[in-house]
Structure 1
Amino acid sequence: MTRLISPDFTPPCRTDVPAFARALSNRLWEDRNIAGLDNLLAPDVILRTPDQVLHGAGAVLAALLAERAACPDLQALCEDTIWCDTTARQGDGEPGFLCANRLTALAGHSGDGLFGPASGTRLRARMMLDVWCTGDRVREGWLIRDTAAIHRALGQDPKSAVRQSLSQDSGLESCAPPLTPDTDPDGAYGGRGDDSPTGDHLSDLVKRIMTGEFSAIAHHYDRACALAYPGGTDEIGHLAAERFWMGLRSAFPSASFRIDHCMGLKDAGAAPRAALRWSLYGKHDGFGAFGPPTGAYVYVMGMTHAEFGPHGLRRDWTLLDVAAIWKQILLATGAV
């Protein structure tokens, strides 16, 4: 690969997407020259998080500053990057790529602000970030943080923490609206991924699970599969996978499920991996991971990374923003 990624990075980050991804995570969350990010972010960049949509480089920089204020020693460790070339798929011939990054954030909660008064608590939470880059700049992003892991480390129940935050914001009038089909802007990137057999296999598997075919887990997951789910939950085996996916689906049994982006990668000397970004939209009309049904319309943006071995899917990292889901339920029901 010889594509120029960004003149703001030094080799090998200009020609190696995983190296770029590691450098990007460092620049976004650790580098002290935040003003220098103007050279990396497109002026009209869009960053979608389940909690809100950020429009423009200024809004993204403000959000990063808020995180730095709460956690000055934050580290964002890039675990893996799965990516695809988007040049041909965009149709304009401009070089570009989309990379799905899986990170672990480590930080001390030593500052007031985003997570309440400083507590001194050590935090560890996974993040997943999809980034589309073209024209030597980050143009669009999709970011999920494990908010459940953060709240639990701080001794908070996610639902109660969200209710308290909404109460302080005076509810819907003051808080930023969460990501939903109504608030999701039309972006410049219209791709759905690549044609990787590994990505297609994962996509088909998750679709089958989310349409109620939970037996697909026993058929296609390694019996000793390692699982990483929201709340900093690390488990192993088929029963734990069934419990997570069933708990999510049963909370929204009539909601529509869609694969929004799918890609796979097979590097030399590495196991086949795949990355999905998916969504679930509909009523909270069932008992499951979010308590008794409320009838609230909820939009769930989720991401799944997987690694495959000789006995099937052997690692499943799936992330969604539990706090953002509770935010939508509480706002819809007025229980703030």
Structure 2
Amino acid sequence: MSLTGFDAQFVDLRDYIFKITEWIWEGRGIDLIRDYYAEDCPVKTPGGAFSGVEGVIRGTLETLQEFPDRSLLGEDVIDSEDAPGTYYSSHRIFSHMTHAGEGAFGAPTGMRAGVMTIADCLCRENRIVDEWLVRDQAGLARQLGHSPAALGEALAAKAALPDAEALVERWRGPEGDLDIDALGPVAVRYRDLWQHARLERLRDGYDRAIDAKVPGARTLRGHDDLERFWFGYKGAFPAGQFRIHHWIDREDAGEPRRVALRWSLSTTHQGGGVFGPASGAPVVLLGITHAELRGDTVVREWHQLDEIAIHAQIAQHRQQKV
């Protein structure tokens, strides 16, 4: 994919994303953020949102203060050109890091951790102009000896969280909510799983040797592991409204079929699952998923959700009831 409006040094969008990520983070070219992010770029995560390149710089410096040796190993970029000169990337990163400084995770522990992140970026004219990002905060917390539930309670106590519709709106892009039926059987299967708890879709839609990475820095292998993960989530959130806000479906020569979807689930904490006793809290799951497929069968999958942000929504509801 040639890049209209981008510097000639970038071969394609994958090359652009990998290179600027390495230059900024591992090359310590923090000031390059001003070159490669639009001045008013919004950055949205399940736990918060802000606009402006100076906020991106501040967040980068705060992360490096806490994890100065953080590496960013680019695993994949699933990308599309949605309009002439307007590109989407869904960028999956694995980071090794040592907790060596004060920050969001408290006093330095010296512990080594590994965490996955997926970032969706809307790119135009050599810059990132919009970004949605999910990091496995719960997996990082557990590796550093923290409870995701306790960190969620602290986040809820720190500031009021937006209501459910505002959280969904945070995750929408210019496309709004896509027509899931028009996207095909794989998208429909995700809706069947998240919205309708049709867990029989796991065994007929996933390879027996499925390799899946899920929140909490966990790896699942095979149908039994996969079902246990889904039982935990659907026990907590048995029903809801599933929306897909962006969808990329690629088949490139020599590579498996790859899909990337940014999605939300508006639901209610109705059961005992993995998020504690039922609270009745309105909850919005904000996720990004990558999958590799053989035909319509998922062979490898990466679900990114911020479980600390989910715990925070439940904690805020409980605090309001008290």
| TM > 0.5 fold call | yes
Residue 230 (structure 1) aligned with residue 215 (structure 2):
yes
Q: Name the CA shift for 1:18/1:310 in 2 (closer, same or farther; >3 Å).
A: same
Give CA-to-partner distance per residue, 1:50-95, whole Å, 9 cap, x none: 00012111112211111011011111111011111111xxxxxx51
Counterparts of 1:311 and 1:160 in 2: how far apart (Å)?
39
Give CA-to-partner distance per residue, 1:242-264, whole Å, 9 cap, x none: 22223223312242111221111
Aligned match of 1:120: 110
Amino acid at match of 1:159: A
Residue 200 (structure 1) aligned with residue 196 (structure 2):
no
The residue correspondences of 1:253-264 to structure 2 (distance < 5 A) are 253-264=238-249
Shift of 1:165: 5.4
Counterparts of 2:170 and 2:288 in 1: how far apart (Å)?
19
- Mark the runs of 5 or more structure 1 residues left unpaired by the alignment: 88-93
Counterparts of 1:275 and 1:334 in 2: how far apart (Å)?
36
1:82 partner SS: strand
Residue 158 (structure 1) aligned with residue 148 (structure 2):
yes
1:181 partner SS: helix
Q: Name the CA shift for 1:188/1:265 in 2 (closer, same or farther; >3 Å).
A: closer
Counterparts of 1:220 and 1:276 in 2: how far apart (Å)?
17
The residue correspondences of 1:207-286 to structure 2 (distance < 5 A) are 207-210=191-194, 211-286=196-271
Shift of 1:310: 6.4
1:182 partner SS: helix
Amino acid at match of 2:251: K
**2:155 and 2:312 in contact (8 A); partners too:** no
**Structure 1 vs Structure 2 CA RMSD:** 2.5
Counterparts of 1:2 and 1:191 in 2: how far apart (Å)?
27
**2:90 and 2:260 in contact (8 A); partners too:** yes
Counterparts of 1:285 and 1:160 in 2: how far apart (Å)?
20
Counterparts of 2:163 and 2:16 in 1: how far apart (Å)?
27
Shift of 1:268: 1.0
TM-score normalised by length of structure 1: 0.87
2:100 counterpart (71, 91, 110):
110
**2:175 and 2:246 in contact (8 A); partners too:** no
Aligned match of 2:33: 37
Amino acid at match of 2:175: G
Shift of 1:334: 1.0
Amino acid at match of 1:208: D
Give CA-to-partner distance per residue, 1:161-181, whole Å, 9 cap, x none: 333455xxxx2xx43746853
1:321 counterpart (281, 306, 309):
306
1:96 counterpart (86, 92, 102):
86
Residue 69 (structure 1) aligned with residue 65 (structure 2):
yes
Counterparts of 1:260 and 1:247 in 2: how far apart (Å)?
24
Counterparts of 2:65 and 2:214 in 1: how far apart (Å)?
27
Counterparts of 1:156 and 1:233 in 2: how far apart (Å)?
16
Counterparts of 1:162 and 1:311 in 2: how far apart (Å)?
36
1:98 partner SS: strand
Shift of 1:318: 0.8
Amino acid at match of 1:74: R
Shift of 1:287: 2.2
Residue 3 (structure 1) aligned with residue 7 (structure 2):
no
2:72 partner SS: strand
Shift of 1:104: 0.3
2:275 counterpart (290, 298, 307):
290
How many residues align structurally? Answer: 318
1:148 partner SS: helix
- Mark the runs of 5 or more structure 2 residues left unpaired by the alignment: none
Shift of 1:116: 0.8
Residue 135 (structure 1) aligned with residue 135 (structure 2):
no
Shift of 1:193: 7.9
Residue 332 (structure 1) aligned with residue 317 (structure 2):
yes
Counterparts of 2:165 and 2:42 in 1: how far apart (Å)?
15
**1:51 and 1:178 in contact (8 A); partners too:** no
Counterparts of 1:144 and 1:327 in 2: how far apart (Å)?
15
Structure number with the higher helix fraction is: 2
Give CA-to-partner distance per residue, 1:74-123, whole Å, 9 cap, x none: 11111011111111xxxxxx511101111101111111112111111111
Counterparts of 1:298 and 1:132 in 2: how far apart (Å)?
26
Aligned match of 1:17: 13
Counterparts of 2:178 and 2:239 in 1: how far apart (Å)?
26
Amino acid at match of 1:3: L
Aligned match of 2:79: 83
TM-score normalised by length of structure 2: 0.90
1:182 counterpart (166, 169, 176):
166
Amino acid at match of 2:293: F
